[in-house]
Every structure is written in structure tokens, then in C-alpha cells.
Amino acid sequence: MPGFDDELRERLSQLRGKGLYRELRQVDSPQSPRLEIDGRIYLNFSSNDYLGLANDPRLQEAAIRATEKFGVGAGAARLICGSLAPHHELECALAAFKGTEAALTFSSGYATALGTICALQEKDDAIVIDKRVHACIVDAAKLSGAKVRVFAHHDLEDLECILKWADQRNARTSASRHPRTLVVTESVFSMDGDHAPLSPIVELKEKYGAWLMVDEAHATGLYGSRRGGLAESLGVSDRIEIQMGTLGKALGAAGGFVCGSRVLIDYLVNRARSFIFSTAPAPAVSAAASTAIQVVQSNEGEARCRQLWERVAEVKAAGNRPAQAQTAIIPITIGDESKAVEAASALRQAGIYLPAIRYPSVPHGQARLRLTLTASHKAADVSELLAALADLKFQF
């Protein structure tokens, strides 16, 4: 029998053989269009810091002030003695931002999905997810013990078939509580940047009496006149039971949140295990997120979005894909995992940081360079990227 480390080495070497090995790269600079790695500066097109707020002086200042007043660690879970003023202030700001009665924050978006989905659905219930939802939703659905059904990406007919099935199944069950169906989708999909058909999904879930949870991780801060997200821009926010998101992308901080009715939030405080059994987020981070929400809602937030969409338009024009939805995420599909790694490495040699995204982040054989733009990129940065892509003869 091989020893523990030998066994793991063998498993890793299999990953390597398939082009699926991953490793960490130490970054020695803050998030920005330029990253310092191993003493070299790279032009960065891989961050989710869409509005360029992660290293904003006002967020830094808010974090420093909160640290001076509340210390570094929250010291306990929220329900014990860790429910600090910055957490409550952030939740008020989030609810106002999203136009809901209340909000609850978690230590990450991942923990938000896990805690929320598992609190709502259990063994006799059903969860219906889009084929391409984020791993945290897939993991949560599995962990909940509910019956999980997957509909083809954006396929409303498939979704309706499954909702019909769930409706009949729920009616048949002899459980003491009437089983419920929860539909979960992202609004802007993390790896493709495409938009879910949210309005028809809302119509369908209402037709079949299902609940809807929308993950706005890649939309919060970017869409709608108040930049609340895609649901706001489509005018369907108040018909979505559970709006979730992360504070770690366009909002430049860290943590996750749910916005919804007061009773939903009270319920999650009582039942979401990733909330209950976890130390409260650092007060510095919550204070920084509150500041980010102010910036996003201001005229400056609007201006930053405009800069982002200008950069996006420049890339799209060069890549000849004008019909694609408005998105900061532009996948350059390569397919084969090892080829994608080679492509990323060639770009790195050209001074462009754009790592390969592979299984299990995307399906097997759909490896890609996930190009993201931010409001901090300049037109000259995009030109440099486009020149490097052209040099390497990338079609996108």
C-alpha cells in the first residue's frame, strides 16, 4: 500500500496528465490592471474587481476606521456576541441598495448559497438549477438532500417541463409539510458572461408556484439605474424571493449576502448553518463594503460603469461579437485543457495575465481564457491586450 503522500502525488500526477493541475501564484501588489508576480509586472485581465474598488482609498479608509474602533476579529459568531455595528450598517445599506425589506451578510458568497439553500429546502423538496450555475449552488443543492433537477442552460421549455414534474410530485407527496420547489439561477453567468432570461423565468416560477433565488454575483454594481443588478434593470426584483450576491466582486470587499423580505432574513438567522456556526466577518471588511455601496450608487458609480462598458465595447469590436449581451466577462474558448494552459502561458510571456479556466470550473473540453475587464483599465491597456492576442493568432 502506498503511503498517504504517495497516494496524493499519484492523484495529482493524473490531474497534471489531463491538463487540470492548478497552482497558486503569489501576487505582490493590490488588485489593479497591473499585477506584480515574481518581480514582473503583468497587465491583468482576470479580476472580478469590475469597478476597480478593491484598492480604493475610501474603502481602505473605512476599513482602517472600523478596525480602530472595533478591532480586527469579530470574536464570535453573529448570534453570540459578534454582531457588530458595521455588520448591521452594511445590511441596512444592502437592503436599501436592492430595494428589499432586509438583508443578511455571510462570510462569503459560497457560504451564502450553502446556508440559504440548505435552510430553505430539504429531503422532500425540489431544487431546479440551470446547468451552468456556480459550484456553490450545485454543492448547496446536493447538501440540502432535496431532489435536484437540472435544466439546459437558458432553456425555458426544459425548465417548464421540470416545473410541471415538480408540481405533480409535490402534490403527490404525503409529507406533513407541503413540499416546495426552488429554482436557482445566476443572472449574469460567471464563466460565459451571458444573461439569464430572468423575466420569463419569473413568469414560469409564478405559474407553477415555485420560489426563485437569483445569484447576482457578476451583476451587482453593474446593471440598473441604481446598479443593483440585472433583476433591478429588468424590473423583476420584487418578484424574486431570494436575491443573493457577493461583496467580493464589483463591490471590492469580501463576503456574501441575501436580500429579501424581513421574514426570509429572520428565518435565515435561525436556520442557515453557515451563518450560525461561523465567526462574523471582520468589521473592516463590512465597513469597506458599506462604503463601496455608497460609491456604486453615486454618479461616480455610474461613471465607472460607463468606463467599463467602453472598454468592453473596444474588445468586442475587435473580436467581432457585437451581438453578445452587455457583460464584463468575455470568454475566449480554447476547448482542450492543455492547449488552454499553453495559451495562458504564452500570454504570460507577453506580459498579459489571463489564466486558463478549466474543468471543473467549466465542462470538460470547454477550457477557456476568461477575459474580464474593469473600470480601471485604460484604452491603451485594451490595445496592448488586443495586440498580444493578435500576435498569438487568437480568434475570439
Active site residues: 48, 134, 186, 190, 215, 218, 249
Shortest spacing between CB 113 and ligand PLP, in angstroms: 6
Strand partners, 183: 128, 212
Residue closer to ligand PLP, measured from CB, 351 or 355: 355
Stretch that binds ligand PLP, among 17-25, 105-113, 142-150, 346-354 (CB under 6 A): 105-113
Shortest spacing between CB 109 and ligand PLP, in angstroms: 2
Shortest spacing between CB 36 and ligand PLP, in angstroms: 23
Q: Which of 109, 115, 193, 331 binds ligand PLP (CB under 6 A)?
A: 109
Tell whether residue 281 is a contact of ligand PLP (CB under 6 A). no
Q: Are 234 and 243 in contact (CB under 8 A)?
A: no
Q: Which of 136, 163, 329, 356 binds ligand PLP (CB under 6 A)?
A: 136
Q: Which of 33, 221, 224, 248 binds ligand PLP (CB under 6 A)?
A: 248
Contacts with ligand PLP, 206-245, as mask; x by CB under 6 A: ---------x-xx---------------------------
Closest CA to 83 of 238, 215, 265: 265
Stretch that binds ligand PLP, among 7-15, 103-111, 231-239, 378-386 (CB under 6 A): 103-111
Give the count of beta carbons closer than 10 Å to the beta carbon of residue 266.
12
User: What CA–CA distance (Å, rounded) separates 396 from 238?
Assistant: 37
Residue closer to ligand PLP, measured from CB, 134 or 147: 134
User: What CA–CA distance (Å, rounded) separates 301 from 294?
Assistant: 8
Contacts of 20 (CB under 8 A, 6+ apart): 337, 358, 359
**Closest residue to ligand PLP in the complex (CB):** 109
DSSP track, 314-366: HHHHHHT-TTS-S-SEEEEEEESHHHHHHHHHHHHHTTEE--EE-TTTS-TT-
Q: Cell numbers of 230, please?
A: 440585472
Q: Which of 31, 190, 233, 366 binds ligand PLP (CB under 6 A)?
A: 190
Tell whether residue 108 is a contact of ligand PLP (CB under 6 A). yes
Place of cell 451564502: 112
Closest CA to 337 of 363, 361, 358, 353: 358
Residue closer to ligand PLP, measured from CB, 368 or 381: 368
- Which amino acid is located at 364 in the chain? H
Shortest spacing between CB 318 and ligand PLP, in angstroms: 26
Contacts with ligand PLP, 37-66, as mask; x by CB under 6 A: ------------------------------
> What are the b/e assignments for 46-84, b being 16+ CB within 10 Å?
bbbbbbbbbebeebeebbebbbeebeeebeeebeeebeb
- For the chain, give the number of residues: 396
User: What CA–CA distance (Å, rounded) separates 151 from 148?
Assistant: 10
Shortest spacing between CB 313 and ligand PLP, in angstroms: 23
Residue closer to ligand PLP, measured from CB, 116 or 233: 116
Tell whether residue 134 is a contact of ligand PLP (CB under 6 A). yes
Tell whether residue 163 is a contact of ligand PLP (CB under 6 A). no
Closest CA to 31 of 313, 393, 374, 381: 374
Closest CA to 112 of 281, 231, 262: 281
Shortest spacing between CB 299 and ligand PLP, in angstroms: 27
Closest CA to 373 of 321, 304, 322, 303: 304
Q: Supply the angle between the helices 283-297 and 57-70 in degrees, to the nearest 10.
A: 140
- Number of residues lying near ligand PLP (CB under 6 A): 13
Tell whether residue 186 is a contact of ligand PLP (CB under 6 A). yes
Stretch that binds ligand PLP, among 85-93, 102-110, 204-212, 357-365 (CB under 6 A): 102-110
Shortest spacing between CB 84 and ligand PLP, in angstroms: 19
Closest CA to 255 of 227, 282, 224, 293: 282
DSSP track, 110-126: HHHHHHHHHHH--TTSE
Contacts with ligand PLP, 251-280, as mask; x by CB under 6 A: -----x------------------------
Name the site residues for ligand PLP (rule: CB under 6 A). Answer: 108-110, 134, 136, 186, 190, 215, 217-218, 246, 248, 256
